[in-house]
Amino acid sequence: MPNQITLCAEPFAPAPSSSGRATDITATVTDSGGEPVEGAVVNFSAGDPHACFTASAGTTDDRGQTTVTLTYPSPDVFGQAGVGVIPVTAAVNDDSKTVLINFYDPRLRPVKILNTERDEKTGLTKVGNIAIAFGVQALVYLPDTLADGDKATFYWGEYIAKKTCAKGEHVWVVEPGKLFIPEQALKQGNYRVWYSIENSAGHVIGALPLDAVITHGPHPVLMN
């Protein structure tokens, strides 16, 4: 069995700054037994010409890891091109993995999850008994610039929903317990919640992600 690769980005959603944004992309290569592979050459690529790596390839260390930094211009440099949801791919031999980096558009309002409270210590939005009992709803605030045929994608952790929009729409009400399997999408744990909008030219912008945590038991049940 060939080597396998996993990929992560930190931070997933770099904040805007006057000098641009940056995130570290770390690839980990393991063998068929799950042991780290040293000396493997990993090639990196990004789905946007404005995104730049410190190096297009890296060699794994004794932990099987190699890290490159991806930079992206700030919004005031390229206008809309300064914000975007960019796929980044790392490849080694016959295996590759892709992650999305959300260089979020600060003009988009974040998702609002109803019937929740915010934990001031952790900054997490807590989805507890009240939200579960009334049915968890997430409000996606669609931009005023929306055009017919624009595509919205909603992310609730690893669970994804898509919608083709019409001009003049303002809010997309998403119910994770109905779109997804509740025992999976609403089980106890942390979820990254956000959305993206793709226009007819194929440019994708994302909203600032929200960290949500389900605090009810391991298998909450929607009551409505």
> From the first residue on, what is the mean pLDDT of each consecutive set of 10 residues in the chain (224 residues)?
87 79 94 93 92 94 96 61 84 92 91 75 65 77 94 95 95 90 83 93 90 66 36
Q: Which domain holds residue 80?
A: 4-103
β-strand pairing of 210-214 with 125-127: parallel
CA distance 47 to 143: 24
Q: What is the pLDDT of residue 215?
A: 76
Same domain, 99 and 124: no
Cα distances (angstroms) measured from residue 159 to each of 84, 154, 208: 20, 8, 17
> Are 97 and 157 members of one domain?
no
pLDDT at residue number 74: 62
Residue 71 lies in a domain: yes
23 inside domain = yes
Are 20 and 72 within 8 A, CB to CB? yes
- Residue 219's pLDDT is what? 46
Same domain, 19 and 92: yes
Question: The domain that contains 200 carries what CATH number?
Answer: 2.60.40
Nearest Cα residue to 186 out of 109, 127, 108: 127
Domain membership flag for residue 219 = no
Domain stops at, among 43, 74, 103: 103
Same domain, 94 and 18: yes
Claim to verify: residue 197 and residue 125 sit in the same structural domain: yes
Pair (89, 132) in one structural domain: no
- Which residue, 85, 103, 121, sits at the end of a domain? 103
Residue 224 lies in a domain: no
- Which residue shows structure tokens 């994770």? 176
* Alpha carbons 145 and 90: distance in angstroms, whole number: 34
Q: Is residue 13 part of a domain?
A: yes
Same domain, 83 and 121: no
Q: Supply the CATH number for residue 32's domain.
A: 2.60.40.10
Picking from 196, 193, 115, the residue whose alpha carbon sits closest to that of residue 156 is 193
Within-domain flag for 94? yes
Local structure of 185: helix, strand or coil: helix
DSSP run (H or E) holding 53: strand 52-53
Give a yes or no: residue 220 inside a domain: no
Q: Give the pLDDT score at 223.
A: 33
Same domain for 186 and 124: yes
Res 78: pLDDT: 44
